[in-house]
Amino acid sequence: MNDALGLKLISIRLPGSLIEDFKNIATINGGMGYQTLMRQVLQRFAASELKMIARGYAEQVQRAKAEEATTAPAPRAQQKKAAERPVAQTRKPA
């Protein structure tokens, strides 16, 4: 059954009070096993953390693009127009 579900056996040490809390919560929430509940809690936590990390990364990328847009050189069309403008002549001192 573990193979079919893709489950892997691990060993972890947890405080007895935490295990009792999970057993009580599992019983109240429909009588599922406490290990099943722990798996669900860990899955929800991991998914939430990954979303938070992805959101932070996306914000970094957006900030970098916005910063790049404000510091980027003028597009070539603007550079070309500037180059075509006549240069102001200065008078030579007499």
Which residue pairs, CB below 8 angstroms and at least 24 apart, start in 2-8?
A: none
pTM over 0.75: no
Mean pLDDT, rounded, of the chain: 86
pLDDT digits (tens, 9 = 90+) for 13-41: 999 999 999 999 999 998 899 999 999 99
Token pair, residue 69, equals 């847009």
Asked if residue 19 lies in contact with residue 37, where contact means CB atoms within 8 angstroms, the answer is: no
- Predicted pLDDT of residue 35: 95
Q: For residue 2, give both structure tokens.
A: 């573990």
A 10 A CB-CB count for 32 gives: 13
Average pLDDT over residues 38-63: 96
Question: What is the structure's pLDDT at 2?
Answer: 74
